[in-house]
A = this chain, B = another copy of it.
Amino acid sequence: MKILLIGFGVVGRAFLRLLDERRGGLYRRFGLRPRIVGVTDSRGSAVSESGLETKQLLAAKYNHGTVAAVAGHGDTTTSIDALIADSDADLVVEATPSTLSAPQVAMSHFKFAFRSGKHAVTVNKAPLAVAMPALFELAAHNRVQFRFSGTVGGGTPILAFARECARGDEIVRIRAILNGTTNFILSRMHASGAAFEAALQEAVELGYAEADPSADIDGVDTATKIVILSNWVLGRPATLDDVKLSGIRGIATERIAEAAGRDSRVKLVGEINETLSVGPCEIRAGDPLDVPANLNAVTVTLRTSGDVTLVGPGAGGAETATAVLRDVLDIWRVMGGQA
């Protein structure tokens, strides 16, 4: 399987390292021999039909800041869209950062991939937030596969789990904690009585929050993941516009304290029932959704089997790379490979 990797940040690099580590097992167990026929970063690209070496790519990135420095294969002039369209790759892995305010660039990558008959795996959820139904349609029209496990729950297989639940039973409701930054802030406020601004500051200093944490604290990140669950797990087309959204910006310490008095915690909960919504909710202490800051959790309420909950770490480059590999194996199976 020939793979074109778009984006060579933390996840992209972790993905190539993972492929190298697991090379023997992937061939023995799944008959899969991945070959990296191209890699791009923000400054250029490296392309080779016979395959690129991870070692060379990492050295070029480390020593020269771009994969374009790979001797004999580097290039700084070709546009990524053109590279995607002209590549003979079977599959494009889109691993550029999720800039929720600017989905267009990654969207364009998918369009060029699908129209040239290439499957795609993405960890970039920005285009999914605004155009998931359209992207599904375009992929189906071009008879290619599209996967995005890493966009929800990092290495924790939330999408696959929820979809499996929906096969034999019927999903009545989904409730989920899907954002580490807000979970950290609210946990700090609960534990120390800190004000929102102080807890946010601490999250930024500890690296839990981005320099601009708006997408997290205003709930847009969680809403995007809820949109992905709705489309993929429930088959209900949705975009961000369909989510009733309220974040936790400036939430009062009194609200946290009142909840604590009722033996509950305030969490930012994404919910799907008749509608899609995101907002601060009280979760009883000991409820499966009462998870510490670094964990994601999703409770799927099934008509017959009741509540089923999955809990696991929600982020991290290496973790997300394992989700990309699951997606690649899923597409490999659809292409006729072993499962």
A residues with CB within 8 A of B: 18, 22, 29, 149, 154-157, 160-161, 164-165, 167-170, 235, 286, 288, 302, 304-313, 316, 318-319, 321-327, 329-330
In angstroms, Cα B29 to Cα A235, docked, is 10
Q: Is the CB of A312 within 8 A of B307?
A: yes
The list of the 3 closest CB pairs from A to B, nearest first, reads: A155-B305, A308-B312, A168-B326
Which of chain B's residues have a CB closer than 8 A to the CB of A235? 29
Which of chain B's residues have a CB closer than 8 A to the CB of A312? 305-309
Q: Which residue from chain B places its CB closest to the CB of A169 in the assembled complex?
A: B322
In angstroms, Cα B316 to Cα A30, docked, is 35
Q: Which residue from chain B places its CB closest to the CB of A309 in the assembled complex?
A: B311
From B167, B310, B326, give the contact of A325 (CB < 8 A).
Answer: B167
Q: Is the CB of B310 within 8 A of A168?
A: no
Q: Is the CB of A304 within 8 A of B155?
A: yes
Q: Which residue from chain B places its CB closest to the CB of A330 in the assembled complex?
A: B167
From B169, B309, B322, B330, give the contact of A305 (CB < 8 A).
Answer: B322
Which of chain B's residues have a CB closer than 8 A to the CB of A154? 305
From B169, B286, B308, B316, give the contact of A310 (CB < 8 A).
Answer: B308
Which of chain B's residues have a CB closer than 8 A to the CB of A313? 305-308
Smallest CB–CB gap between A164 and chain B, Å?
5
Which of chain B's residues have a CB closer than 8 A to the CB of A329? 167-168
Q: Is the CB of B168 within 8 A of A161?
A: no
Q: Which residue from chain B places its CB closest to the CB of A326 in the assembled complex?
A: B168
**A288-B311, A309-B310 known; A304 vs B319 contact (CB < 8 Å):** yes
In angstroms, Cα B307 to Cα A310, docked, is 11
Which of chain B's residues have a CB closer than 8 A to the CB of A167? 325-326, 329-330
Which of chain B's residues have a CB closer than 8 A to the CB of A288? 288, 311
Which of chain B's residues have a CB closer than 8 A to the CB of A302? 155, 322
Smallest CB–CB gap between A17 and chain B, Å?
10
Sampled A-B contacts (22; CB under 8 Å): A149-B168, A155-B169, A155-B304, A157-B161, A157-B165, A157-B308, A160-B160, A160-B164, A161-B310, A167-B326, A168-B323, A168-B324, A288-B288, A288-B311, A302-B322, A304-B318, A305-B319, A307-B313, A308-B310, A308-B313, A309-B311, A310-B311
Q: Is the CB of A168 within 8 A of B325?
A: yes
Q: Is the CB of A326 within 8 A of B157?
A: no
In angstroms, Cα B329 to Cα A18, docked, is 32
4 new A-B contacts, CB < 8 A, other than A305-B322, A308-B311, are: A157-B168, A304-B319, A309-B311, A310-B310
In angstroms, Cα B339 to Cα A164, docked, is 11
From B164, B307, B311, give the contact of A326 (CB < 8 A).
Answer: B164
